[in-house]
Structure 1
Amino acid sequence: LYPPIEQLVEQCGKFRLLDRLISHLLQRKHK
């Protein structure tokens, strides 16, 4: 039922990258 740990880590990494990009863009807009 559960996906392999490697897959979860990979997805977490992608989400972190997206989060960083979004926060970076938001900071640019505020300045």
Structure 2
Amino acid sequence: MFNPQGSLNITILIPQQISIQQLGNSQELSM
């Protein structure tokens, strides 16, 4: 079954994970 709420959570979570990874990489570079 298609869950629109689940797909909405996925579209929100994926960019958050990408931004978190970018922040972690920038922090590692600065350190």
Instruction: Judge same fold: TM > 0.5, yes or no.
Output: yes
Residue in 2 aligned with 1:24?
A: 25
Q: Runs (4+) of structure 1 moved beyond 4 Å?
A: none
Q: Kindly, what percent of the aligned residue pairs are identical?
A: 4
Structure 2 unaligned regions, length at least 5: none
Number of aligned pairs?
Answer: 28
Counterparts of residues 9-20 of structure 1 (less than 5 Å): 9-20=10-21
In angstroms, what is the RMSD of aligned CA positions? Answer: 1.3
- Structure 1 residue 28, shift from structure 2 partner: 0.2
Q: Distance in 1 between matches of 2:16 and 2:9?
A: 11
